[in-house]
Amino acid sequence: METKLIASYLNWTTETLRGWGVGESLLHFCATILIAGGALLLAWLLYFVVTRYVIPAVLKLVRITDASWDDILFNERLLRVVAELACVMLMQATIPDGLTYYPTLHGLAVLTFRILIVCVAVHLINRFLLAVYELIERSSSGRASSLKGIRQMLQVISVSIGVIIIISILANKNPLTVITGLGAAATVLMLVFKDSIMGVVAGVQLTLNDMLRPGDWITVPARNINGTVLEVGLTTVKVQNFDMTIVTIPPYALVSESFQNWRGMTDSRGRRINRAVTIDVNSVRFCDEETIRELKNEEWWNQLDHSTPHVNLTLFRKYLEHYISTLPEMKTDANMVYMVRELAPTPEGIPLELYFFTSLTSWKPYEHFQAQVIDHVLASVHRFGLRIYQAPSGRDVAMLANARNA
C-alpha cells in the first residue's frame, strides 16, 4: 500500500515537472529530490512534534500519577529513542521507493535503513534494560544493585544479536547461517575473550546465589582484600579496603576461591566477640573464707551451687558470665549465645574464653567495647586470687639475677 502510494506520488511529480517544462535529463533527478526531500522533511516534522509536544505531555502525565514505576520506565531518554525509531521506520517506508529511478541508490537506501532500524532497536532495548534496572534498584534494598552484571550481560547479548543481524543484512544471508559460520571462530573467540566470558558466568552466579552485593564487607585473605564492595560489574568487582585503597578482582576469582562476607553480621545487627585470656595454672585453688566473705554479698553469688567447695576459677567464670549478661551493649537474640568457658590446658596455662555478641557492629565502637571488656577481665582477676599468664621478659630475668646476687 505504501509502495503504491509513493510510486503514484513519484509519477505525479514527474508528470507535473514535465508539464512545467523540465528537461528529460533532469526530470528524474528533480522528481527524486522532491520526493526524498519531502520524506526527510516529513520525518523531521514527526520527530519535532513528538519530542516537542508528545513526550512532554507523556512525562507530565506520568508525574501526575501516584505510581513511581511509570516515571522510571517512561523516562525522556527512552521516549526519544522511540521517536527516533518511528522516524527511521517512516523514512524506510518512503525514501527507498522515492529512489526508484536509481536502482543502485534504491538498493543502498534499503540496506541503510534496515541497518538503522536494527541499531535504533538495539539502542531502545538497552534503554529499556537500564530503566528496568533502575526501577528494581529503587524498589528493593541492596540485592538489585548486584544485578548490574546481569544487566550488562543482557546488553552485551542484545548488541551481539544486533551485530549478527547487521552482518546477515550486509551478506544477504539468514542470521542462522551467520551464526553457524561464526561457530568456526568460536574457539578463537573463547581464547581472546576468556576473561570476559568467565566474568559473565561468575557474575551471574554471584548475583543469582546472592553471594555478593554492593555495600557488603568482604575479606579475601588470599588476595589481601578486606573492605567494602563498591561495584559488582560484568568483568570486575571493585572493593575499597579499609586503608582506602581500591582493589579490582575478577568475579570468577570470588567463585573459585573462598571469601568471607560479613553481611550476615550486619543484617543481624550483632557482632561476635570471641576473646580469651590465659590463667596461670599455679593460681587455681579452692577459695578460702576471706575470699568467700568478700564475694558472697554480690548479686551473682546466689546463682551458685553452694553444696560443693568453691574453686576460684569457677567463681571467676561465673562472675564474668554475669558481668557480660548485664552489659547494655550485649545482644541475646536467637542463635546469639553468651558464655565463658575453659579451653583445654596449654603449656602457658588455662585459656578462659569469653564468647558473646554485641549490638555494636561498626569497627571503632566494636573495638573500644571489646577492649573495655578485656580491661575489666584483667583488672578483676586478682580479686579471685588468680593470675594471668605472661611469658617472662628480659626485665624479669634481670630482676631474678639481681635478687640472687643480693
Residue 193 binned pLDDT confidence (cut-offs 50, 70, 90): low
What is the identity of the amino acid at 93?
A
pLDDT score at 27: 60
pLDDT score at 36: 75
User: Angle formed by the axes of helices 2-19 and 24-49, to 10°?
Assistant: 130
Per-residue pLDDT tens for 342-357?
A: 999 988 899 999 999 9
pLDDT score at 231: 84
pLDDT score at 147: 66
Domains annotated on the chain, with CATH: 2-139 (no CATH), 269-384 (3.30.70)
Q: What are phi and psi of 362, to 5 degrees?
A: -70, 150
pLDDT score at 372: 93
Across 199-221, average pLDDT: 78
Classify residue 242 by burial, with Cβ atoms within 10 Å: 0-12, 13-18, 19+: exposed
pLDDT score at 89: 87
Distance of CA 67 to the CA centre of its chain: 26
Residue 2 has pLDDT above 60, yes or no: no
pLDDT score at 351: 93
Per-residue pLDDT tens for 266-287?
A: 777 888 889 999 999 988 999 8
Sign of CA dihedral 206, 208, 210, 213: positive
CA dihedral 142, 144, 150, 156 (to 10 degrees): -110
pTM of the complete model: 0.52
C-beta of residue 281 within 8 angstroms of C-beta of residue 350? yes
pLDDT score at 9: 58
Query: Kind and range of the H or E element at 273?
Result: strand 271-279
Top-ranked range on mean pLDDT: pick from 28-37, 146-155, 354-363, 389-398: 354-363
Across 211-225, average pLDDT: 85
Residue 172 binned pLDDT confidence (cut-offs 50, 70, 90): confident
Distance CA 391, CA 206 (A): 47
Mean pLDDT across the chain: 80
Distance CA 376, CA 196 (A): 54
Distance of CA 25 to the CA centre of its chain: 65
Across 60-87, average pLDDT: 82
pLDDT score at 354: 92
Distance CA 375, CA 283 (A): 20
Residue 183 has pLDDT above 60, yes or no: yes
Task: Name which of 73-77, 80-84, 233-237, 370-374 the model is least confident about.
Answer: 233-237
Tell me the H-state helices in 20-54. 24-49
Query: Kind and range of the H or E element at 240?
Result: strand 237-241
Residue 1 binned pLDDT confidence (cut-offs 50, 70, 90): very low
Per-residue pLDDT tens for 366-382?
A: 999 999 999 999 999 98
Distance CA 27, CA 25 (A): 6
Residue with cell 568453691: 310
What is the identity of the amino acid at 94?
T
Could you tell me which residues come within 8 angstroms of residue 133 by beta carbon, excluding any fewer than 6 positions away?
A: 144, 147, 148, 151
Q: What are phi and psi of 142, to 5 degrees?
A: 90, -55
Residue 319 has pLDDT above 70, yes or no: yes
pLDDT score at 190: 65
User: Angle formed by the axes of helices 312-325 and 363-380, to 10°?
Assistant: 150
Which three cell numbers, joined as nine digits, stand for 369? 567495647
